[in-house]
Amino acid sequence: MEQTLVILKPGTVQRGLMGEIISRFEKKGLLIKGMKMMQLTDELLNEHYSHLKERSFFKDLKNSMMSCPVVVMCLEGVDVVNVVRNIVGATNGRAAQPGTIRGDYSVSAMENLVHASDSPETAEIELTRFFKKEEILECNHKLLLNIYAAYEMVV
Ligand code: UDP
Ligand code: MG
């Protein structure tokens, strides 16, 4: 099944929203296959945000992302990249729809609480960047048949 990377950014940790945000993913029916706290570094962020390196806010973005430890998560589900991007909402919290994480808890383009991979290809690269292979765990999720129809699960 598809997997994606989510990062609970420093704003989420500082504002005590980790539980609330993790809970939204859990309640949706997504499986948490890996989760840990870590301190991001300049080197890692240069790689992770390389598509933004020419932007005026690049340094501020990196400083924000290094301002305290983050939570990195590997979430799994059918079409999980799209499902998670929809739960997270538009990049700018002021434009994000109410009901999305950013729409409900952010009023900023930068301090938008969560990172989520933007395609299955990016997700694979990003999961490798933040997790060692052995940190993504196997678990026999007994509830799967109550979450998906059997025909939807191409495991
Ligand atoms: N960002 C920002 N200003 C912008 C666009 C992006 O500060 O105008 C920050 C914001 O924190 C965003 C991150 O850079 O989450 C990565 O940008 P991207 O375009 O990849 O947006 P995302 O995929 O996070 O929605
Ligand atoms: Mg992005």
Q: What is the mean pLDDT of residues 22-28?
A: 98
Q: What is the mean pLDDT of residues 78-94?
A: 98
Q: What is the mean pLDDT of residues 20-37?
A: 97
**Residue 53: its pLDDT value, please?**
97
Q: 64-68 long-range contacts, Cβ below 8 Å, gap at least 24? A: 64/9, 64/10, 64/11, 64/110, 64/111, 65/9, 65/10, 65/40, 66/10, 66/39, 66/40, 66/41, 66/42, 67/10, 67/14, 68/10, 68/13, 68/14
**Residue 64: its pLDDT value, please?**
98
Which ligand lies nearest the alpha carbon of 10?
A: 1
Mean residue pLDDT across the chain: 96
Label residue 153 by pLDDT band (50, 70, 90): confident
Residue 76 has pLDDT above 90, yes or no: yes
Residue 39 Cβ < 6 Å to ligand 1: no
**Residue 143: its pLDDT value, please?**
81
Respond yes or no: is residue 51 known to be catalytic. no
Which ligand lies nearest the alpha carbon of 122?
A: 2
Q: Do the beta carbons of residue 5 and residue 85 sit within 8 Å?
A: no
Give the ligand 1 atom nearest the CA of 9.
11
**Residue 139: its pLDDT value, please?**
82
The residue whose CA has the least distance to atom 10 of ligand 1 is 110
Let me know how long the chain is.
155
Residue 102 Cβ < 6 Å to ligand 1: no
Q: What is the mean pLDDT of residues 125-148?
A: 92
**Residue 155: its pLDDT value, please?**
57
Q: What is the mean pLDDT of residues 2-20?
A: 98
What domains are defined for the chain?
2-153 (3.30.70.141)
